[in-house]
């Protein structure tokens, strides 16, 4: 009788045990179901995400223009029908307004000297009515009036200065590494960074920059190539091979200088001490 009493289905102890077991089982089932749902959702998101693809381009030369072969080109910008150029080298760094058709320098301003010598000019950018120019190792940049080239201000940064451009809201700056810096247009403070990479490796030696139709174009220093970069992920969406665009000349330097005429959809490239500036059209390789 004692044994039967504990096996009675009306026993409060037995009911409590059954309730606890059922509750644990329900929780386990719900956990498994939730895990399966999350797994399917993650798999679905992965399947729906477009794969990152790198495309490869050559070029077709549309026009050739004269270019001052004494210009050690560091920055190139085309805005409102005007070509601006920043040049480097110690004691020769300058900001210029250049006539595209003839290559003539219409206006020029030398970078200021400093106590220990001279600044080495780097990339430039035009934003509104101002021109911004980086220097290489001095960690200081200069702001000029776009029309008069009068000095307006200066700004600092804690890296080397190489290339400079902007998107709709921020400056984008290179320092010769694989990192691009997004900086506030008023304070020059860093808001975020991206590391430029393809599917195999990071891409360093990023030099002169241009923002074109939602992508960043960057010269890869000491090569004949330009990379197209996603500004959100840093992924290289395209390689542009410009090998053979210019014949070798004594004293000629590397490819450096990208400018875009947004009104007429024209892409310009040149290099350090090149006697020519080229308008090109990209040709995708199949």
Question: How far, in Å, CA of 32 to CA of 88, rounded?
Answer: 64
Residues 207 and 114 placed together within one structural domain of the fold: yes
Question: How far, in Å, CA of 162 to CA of 176, rounded?
Answer: 6
Query: What are 196's two structure tokens?
Result: 């430029």
Residues 119 and 23 placed together within one structural domain of the fold: no
Domain that holds residue 82: 55-284
At residue 46, the pLDDT reads 39
The dihedrals phi and psi of 226, each to the nearest 5 degrees, come to -120, 140
At residue 116, the pLDDT reads 60
Residues 121 and 250 placed together within one structural domain of the fold: yes
Is the separation of the CB atoms in 236 and 203 below 8 Å?
Answer: yes
Residues 19 and 120 placed together within one structural domain of the fold: no
Residues 41 and 164 placed together within one structural domain of the fold: no
Query: What are 64's two structure tokens?
Result: 């050739």
Residues 6 and 97 placed together within one structural domain of the fold: no
Count of domains forming the chain: 2
pTM of the model: 0.83
Residues 214 and 113 placed together within one structural domain of the fold: yes
We report the CATH number of the domain holding residue 180 as: 2.120.10.30
Residues 59 and 190 placed together within one structural domain of the fold: yes
Query: What are 223's two structure tokens?
Result: 């090569």
Is the separation of the CB atoms in 187 and 132 below 8 Å?
Answer: no
Residues 73 and 171 placed together within one structural domain of the fold: yes
Residues 6 and 64 placed together within one structural domain of the fold: no
Q: Which of 48, 66, 86 is the last residue of a domain?
A: 48
Across the chain, which has 286 residues, the per-10-residue mean pLDDT values are 35 40 50 49 44 92 98 98 97 96 98 81 98 97 98 97 97 98 97 96 98 98 98 98 94 96 98 98 95
Residues 71 and 131 placed together within one structural domain of the fold: yes
Query: What are 129's two structure tokens?
Result: 């009515």
At residue 114, the pLDDT reads 76
CA dist 2 to 7, 15, 18, Å? 9, 18, 21
Chain CA centroid to CA 211, Å: 8
């Amino acid at each position: 009788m004692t044994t039967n009493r504990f096996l009675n289905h009306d026993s409060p102890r037995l009911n409590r045990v059954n309730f606890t077991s059922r509750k644990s089982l329900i929780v386990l089932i719900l956990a498994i179901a939730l895990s399966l749902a999350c797994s399917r959702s993650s798999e679905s998101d992965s399947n729906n995400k477009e794969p990152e693809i790198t495309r490869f381009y050559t070029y077709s030369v549309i026009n050739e223009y004269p270019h001052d072969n004494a210009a050690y080109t560091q920055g190139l910008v085309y805005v409102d029908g005007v070509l601006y150029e920043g040049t480097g080298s110690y004691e020769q760094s300058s900001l210029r307004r250049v006539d595209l058709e003839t290559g003539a320098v219409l206006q020029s301003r030398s970078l200021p000297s400093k106590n220990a010598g001279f600044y080495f000019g780097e990339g430039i950018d035009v934003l509104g009515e101002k021109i911004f120019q980086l220097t290489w190792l001095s960690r200081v940049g200069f702001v000029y009036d776009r029309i008069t080239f009068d000095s307006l201000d200066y700004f600092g940064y804690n890296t080397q200065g190489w290339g400079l451009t902007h998107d709709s809201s921020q400056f984008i700056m290179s320092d010769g590494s694989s990192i691009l810096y997004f900086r506030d247009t008023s304070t020059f403070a860093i808001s975020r960074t991206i590391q430029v990479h393809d599917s195999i490796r990071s891409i360093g030696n990023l030099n002169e920059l241009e923002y074109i139709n939602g992508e960043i174009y960057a010269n890869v220093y000491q090569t004949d190539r330009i990379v197209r970069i996603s500004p959100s992920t840093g992924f290289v969406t395209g390689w542009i091979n410009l090998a053979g665009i210019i014949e070798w000349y004594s004293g000629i330097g590397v490819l450096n200088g990208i400018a875009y005429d947004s009104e007429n959809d024209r892409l310009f490239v040149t290099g350090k001490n090149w006697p020519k500036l080229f308008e090109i059209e990209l040709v995708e390789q199949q």
